[in-house]
Amino acid sequence: MARRTLPTAVAFATTAALVLTACGGSDDSSSDDIKGADKGSSSPSASASASASAAVDRPKITLPSSFKLTFESWTSGNAKEQAVLDDAKEELRAGYAAIIANDPGSEDLAFYDTETGLPQSKKWIKSYTDKNVTVIGELPAFDPKVTLVKNVDGRTATLGYCTDESKASTKDRKTGKVVGNPAGTDPEVFYSVTLRKSAQGVWQNASVTSKRGGCAK
């Protein structure tokens, strides 16, 4: 039940997703040079940036026990990379929370999306809500790869990760019918996301693309 390319009829078109780094791609050692000045999370400016980001009043997102979204190895020794991972994780949680709450206009999701990225996310959510279905089961997100893009403002990052839909399904809100991927469908989906850092210091999804298959766990 991966994001944007979920099972069967409710699958979200790849062209409507956001952009991340390839799953299983190599680490980019230049990521420490983001913002074109600070090197390493131990610098004063990096520490100040991390503190400012942590001080933002982020939404408190909860998911019901009927849908277990897990994040395997979403950690980094680099404070800047960890900030990207933390916000990207919450954006994904906010998206599924919106589906479950039948709320395409979720303010929590809007908090974690840019103005250009939000319409894509709403379209993804509506691919469920328009069909009156929700999501259930388990969905692990794993093998995240962050790249901090070196540019003039240091506010762009890419993230690649994979999900495994083997134990995730959709459930019709009215009939209770549960549907998973058709037999023979590769349950693993790779996502490539582009993120932009807001003035508040929040890493927001700007675009997403997805491709079924190609993940190695």
**Per-residue pLDDT, 107:** 97
Distance (Å, rounded) from C-alpha 92 to C-alpha 139?
11
- Helix-, strand-, coil-residue percentages of the chain, each rounded to 5: 30, 30, 40
AA letter at 192: S
Q: Are 87 and 111 in contact (CB under 8 A)?
A: no
User: Which residues 6+ apart lie within 8 Å of 107 measured at CB?
Assistant: 59
**CATH architecture of the domain formed by 8-54+61-212:** Roll (3.10)
118-129 helix and 79-100 helix, angle to the nearest 10 degrees: 30
pTM: 0.77
pLDDT at 105: 96
**Residue 197 has which token pair?**
């850092």
Across the chain, which has 217 residues, the per-10-residue mean pLDDT values are: 44 28 29 31 42 76 98 96 98 98 97 96 96 97 95 88 96 97 94 96 96 81
Residue extents of the structural domains in the chain: 8-54+61-212
pLDDT of residue 176: 97
The type of residue at 57 is: D
